[in-house]
Amino acid sequence: MIDREVGATFDRRSALLLGGAAALTLVLVARMLQMQLFQHGKYKKLSERNSYRTQINLPERGKILGSGNTPMAKDTPIYRVYIIPDEADDLTGLLAAVKRELNLKPSDIDRIHKRIQKQRGFQPALVKENTNWEQLAGLQTMNLNGLHIERGFSRRYPLGPAGAQAIGYLGVPGAIVRPDQEDAARSPFFMTGQAGLEKAFDAPLSGTVGKTALIVDAMGRVTGKDQSLEIRGTDGKNLQTTLSEPIVRKLYDLLEPNKSGCGIVMAAQTGEILAMVSAPSYDANNFKSDDSAEMMQDLLKNPLKPFMNKTLEGLYPPGSTFKVVVALAALESGAITPTEKIHCTGEWEYGNHLYHCWEKHGHGWMDMVGALQHSCDIYFYQVALRTGIEAINNMAARLGLGQVLLSTLPREMAGIVPDKTWKEKNIGQRWQHGDTIISGIGQGFVLANCLQLATMLARVSTNSVVMPRLVTTDPKPEVGFGSLGLQQKNIDIVLKGLEKVLQEGGTAAGAAINIRGSRMGGKTGTSQVRSISKKERDIGVRTNEQLPWDLRNHGLFVGYAPTDRPKYIVSVVTEHSGSSGPAARVAAGVMKQILLNDKMTQ
**pLDDT above 70 (res 451):** yes
The mean of the pLDDT values for the chain is 87
**pLDDT above 70 (res 124):** yes
Other Cβ atoms closer than 10 A to 549: 12
516: left (phi over 0), alpha (psi -120 to 50) or beta: left
**According to the model, what pLDDT value does residue 5 have?**
56
Confidence of residue 478 (pLDDT cuts 50, 70, 90): low
Lowest-pLDDT choice from 20-29, 257-266, 354-363, 375-384: 20-29
Q: What is the DSSP letter of 34?
A: I
Helix (H) / strand (E) containing 300:
helix 292-301
Average the pLDDT over 398-411 and give the result.
94
Lowest-pLDDT choice from 314-318, 423-427, 477-481, 500-504: 477-481
For residue 562, whether the previous peptide bond is cis, meaning omega lies within 30 degrees of 0, is yes
**According to the model, what pLDDT value does residue 404 have?**
96
**According to the model, what pLDDT value does residue 333 have?**
97
Are residues 342 and 365 in contact, defined by beta-carbon separation less than 8 angstroms? yes
**According to the model, what pLDDT value does residue 355 have?**
96
Average the pLDDT over 395-414 and give the result.
95
Average the pLDDT over 575-584 and give the result.
94
Confidence of residue 513 (pLDDT cuts 50, 70, 90): very high
**According to the model, what pLDDT value does residue 31 have?**
64
**According to the model, what pLDDT value does residue 590 have?**
98
Lowest-pLDDT choice from 184-198, 212-226, 298-312: 212-226
Confidence of residue 531 (pLDDT cuts 50, 70, 90): low
**According to the model, what pLDDT value does residue 132 have?**
67
Buried b (16+ CB within 10 A) or exposed e, 62-76: bbbbbeeebbbbbbe
Confidence of residue 351 (pLDDT cuts 50, 70, 90): very high
User: What's this model's pTM, rounded to 2 decimal places?
Assistant: 0.84
Average the pLDDT over 331-343 and give the result.
98
**pLDDT above 90 (res 237):** yes
Lowest-pLDDT choice from 148-152, 314-318, 365-369, 587-591: 148-152
**pLDDT above 60 (res 514):** yes
Torsion over CA: 214, 219, 223, 228 (sign): negative
Residue type at 281 in one-letter notation: S
**pLDDT above 60 (res 82):** yes
Q: How far apart are the C-alpha atoms of 244 and 169, rounded to whole Å?
A: 19
Residue type at 23 in one-letter notation: A
Residues 6+ apart with CB under 8 A from 428: none
**pLDDT above 90 (res 178):** no
Among 97-101, 407-411, 491-495, the range of highest mean pLDDT = 491-495
* Residue-wise DSSP of 154-215: EEE-TTGGGGHHHH--EE---SS--GGGTTGGGSTT--EE-SHHHHHTHHHHH-B-EEEEEE
* Residue-wise DSSP of 412-430: ----B---HHHHHHHTSS-
| 340 vs 188, residue with greater confidence | 340
For a pLDDT cut of 90, what percent of the chain falls above it? Answer: 59
**pLDDT above 80 (res 109):** yes
**pLDDT above 60 (res 349):** yes
For a pLDDT cut of 70, what percent of the chain falls above it? Answer: 85
**According to the model, what pLDDT value does residue 224 have?**
73
**According to the model, what pLDDT value does residue 537 have?**
57
**According to the model, what pLDDT value does residue 240 have?**
97
**pLDDT above 80 (res 29):** no
Q: What is the DSSP letter of 25?
A: H
**pLDDT above 80 (res 452):** yes
Q: How far is CA 211 from the centre of its chain?
A: 32
**According to the model, what pLDDT value does residue 288 have?**
73
**According to the model, what pLDDT value does residue 147 have?**
85
**According to the model, what pLDDT value does residue 138 have?**
76
Q: How far apart are the C-alpha atoms of 196 and 441, rounded to whole Å?
A: 33
Which residues, in sequence order, are bridge partners of residue 147? 83
**pLDDT above 60 (res 3):** no
Confidence of residue 88 (pLDDT cuts 50, 70, 90): confident
pLDDT tens for 242-300 read 999 999 999 999 999 999 999 999 999 999 999 999 999 999 998 875 556 778 889 99
Average the pLDDT over 337-359 and give the result.
96
Average the pLDDT over 324-333 and give the result.
98
**According to the model, what pLDDT value does residue 19 have?**
63
Q: Which domains does the chain have, with CATH numbers?
A: 53-240 (3.90.1310.10), 245-601 (3.40.710.10)
Other Cβ atoms closer than 10 A to 286: 15
Average the pLDDT over 521-527 and give the result.
96
**pLDDT above 60 (res 10):** no
Helix (H) / strand (E) containing 99:
helix 91-102
**pLDDT above 60 (res 1):** no
**pLDDT above 70 (res 222):** no
Q: How far apart are the C-alpha atoms of 7 and 569, rounded to whole Å?
A: 116
Confidence of residue 602 (pLDDT cuts 50, 70, 90): low
